[in-house]
Amino acid sequence: MNKPKYQQIIDDLLHAINSGELEAGMKLPSQRALAEQYHVNRSTIVTVMDILKSYGVVDSRERSGIYVSNHGWNKYVHNNLNWQDYIGNSPTANNQFYIREINRCEFLDNMVRLGTGELSPELIPNATFKKIIQEDIVQHLSSNYEAPQGSLALRTQVKRLVARRGISCSVDEICITSGALQGLKLIADGLLVPESKIIVETPSYINSIRTWHKIHSKMVSLPITYIKNNIHALFNEDVDYSNSIFYCNPTLHNPTSNTYSFAEKEQIFAQCKKKGIPIVEDDIYSELWFDGTPPQTLKSLDSSHHVLYLGSLSKTVSPGLRIGWIIGNKRVIRHLADLKMQNDYGASSISQFIATKWLEMYHDDHITYIKKQLMERKQLMTEALTTYFADIGSWQDVQGGFYIWFKFHIPLDMKKLFQLAIESNLLIHPGEIYSVKEKYSMRFSYAYIDKDQIHDSLQKLRHLINQNNIHPKR
């Protein structure tokens, strides 16, 4: 005789625990998700959970969900190695809740990604990559390790590329990295000490990753509004800034899309130089400036190697190519390149080969095409925001890049909205990811989402706000 449906679900979950698919401490899917998975009513799932709780197999955590129990391993659970004990003892902390959930959900089927900071797959030039390999691989490709600072041919192309941004450098002042993120990691490992102060404009992408949090240096937040309002007096005269750095994203900032004026950049550079504070300039979006020549970089003001400049092809071409670069003082670059070789022997030689040919022959036309596509998507998202969100929040028009930074006028329960959105196959990026003080903000991205999904997805998100009692009350 067939077992009742609820018993089949219990057996299925017990099997997942015994096989190690579900481990002690792991969160179970929501009741709604399980009901959809097993094609039953939520009341059936409630019964299942009550029975598993009575077995001691799962525990409820108030306002958090249901988890596989860390204790009570009885006759229903066997042969199970508790990996959570190992994970819990690791010195590397888990990402915050939002980041963990975003990483989990980004690759789920039918999930519409409203905040993803990547180009849409349809905008990535895979056909051109294939052409490069087919035409040149036999004669020119080598899959051996490259030099510590990266392929000389690629560094030559990077030198040519950044010259258009007003940056004059030699190939010996360039280190190729596995994306700009590895550049940040190398700076953290090679230049910072526990006594360092890491001065960061906020909100900031740097707060969404753990690259600079593990060295126990003090993170000093300077809100972008503070920087703009106090542009002539950014730093406390009585504070010792030895071994400190200033990290900024001064053109098409992530997540706010802020761009400092040239006068503001001059002031930032002058004050950091006066205080002896090196600048890490993250400039991975500036090529996506929509109208005319992108604004001048901080590095272009630098004649004394005061700025470490980060660039990348991840946002303009392909994140999977994993090609970025650091430009700076020769001794610093050699030091970081040596550290890179100790870690992983450098970026893929195949990716460096493709990137070299790409920059030499295809990059300029691609940037023109991508900007046109992004401008069209930005317009669609702006129109949808105006239709569905203008009465409950505000945003600034953007001049390029991927992002629209939306600020709700009145507080709402962002965590509840985040979870409801996931259950409705919408993935959003709450502002708290980028600053603990931005609980009522959201990063929208028009770069990844399909154009024909923008309008309906924002309409659906507004419906969730209205329908679930998280609408800001006037």
Please tell me what DSSP assigns to residue 311: E
Q: Report the candidate in 24, 18, 26, 28 with the shortest Cα–Cα distance to residue 85.
A: 24
Q: How far apart are CA 196 and CA 218, in angstroms?
A: 7
Coil, helix or strand at residue 332: helix
Residue 101 CB contacts under 8 Å (≥ 6 apart), including other chains: 418, 422
DSSP alpha helix (H) spans, 68-125: 83-89, 97-105
Say what the pLDDT of residue 377 is.
Answer: 98
Q: What share of the chain is helix, strand, coil (3-state, %, to 5)?
A: 45, 15, 40
Mean residue pLDDT across the chain: 89
Q: Kindly report each contact of residues 225-232 with a partner whose C-beta sits within 8 Å and lies 24 or more positions away, as own/partner.
A: 227/201, 227/260, 227/264, 227/268, 228/260, 228/264, 231/263, 231/264, 231/267, 231/268, 232/267
Q: What are phi and psi of 194, to 5 degrees?
A: -55, -25
Separation in Å, CA 428 to CA 66, 97, 446:
23, 13, 12
* Helix boundaries (H) for 171-239: 179-191, 224-229
Q: Which two tokens stand for residue 262?
A: 């040239």
Instruction: For residue 401, give the nearest of 452, 447, 434, 364 by alpha carbon.
Output: 447
Phi, psi of 58 (to 5 degrees): -130, 155
Query: Average pLDDT for residues 74-87, to the nearest whole number?
Result: 56
Give me the DSSP letters along 362-423: THHHHHHHHHHHHHHHHHHHHHHHHHHTTTTEE----SBSSEEEEEESS---HHHHHHHHHH
Domain limits, the chain: 5-89, 97-122+366-468, 123-362
Domain 5-89 CATH assignment equals 1.10.10.10:
yes
Please say whether the dihedral angle defined by the alpha carbons of residues 325, 329, 333 and 335, taken in this order, is positive or negative. Answer: negative
Most confident of the following: 253-257, 410-414, 467-471? 253-257
Using alpha carbons, list the distances in angstroms from residue 429 to 88, 390, 401, 406, 443: 26, 18, 16, 11, 5
Check pLDDT > 80 for residue 198: yes
pLDDT at 138 over 70: no
Question: What's the mean pLDDT in 325-334?
Answer: 95
The predicted pLDDT at position 285 comes to 98
pTM for the model: 0.81
Q: How far apart, in whole angstroms, are the C-alpha atoms of residue 443 and residue 321? A: 25
Please give the pLDDT value at position 78. 61
| Calpha distance 349→352 (Å, rounded) | 5
Q: What pLDDT band is residue 434 in, cutting at 50, 70 and 90?
A: very high
User: Does position 73 have pLDDT exceeding 80, yes or no?
Assistant: no
What's the pLDDT score for residue 449? 97
Query: Would you say residue 74 has pLDDT above 90?
Result: no
Q: Note the pLDDT of residue 93.
A: 46
Whether pLDDT at 398 is above 60: yes
Residue 61 vs residue 142, higher pLDDT: 61
Q: Select from 137, 174, 457 the least CA-distant residue to 311.
A: 174
Among 46-55, 99-108, 294-303, which range has the highest average pLDDT? 294-303
pLDDT at residue 252 greater than cutoff 90: yes
Domain 97-122+366-468 belongs in CATH node 3.90.1150.10? yes
Lowest mean pLDDT among 135-149, 169-183, 214-228: 135-149
Using DSSP's 3-state secondary structure scheme, residue 39 falls into coil
* pLDDT at 165 (0 to 100): 93
Provide mean pLDDT across the span 417-425. 92
Question: At the topology level of CATH, where does 123-362 sit?
Answer: Aspartate Aminotransferase; domain 2 (3.40.640)
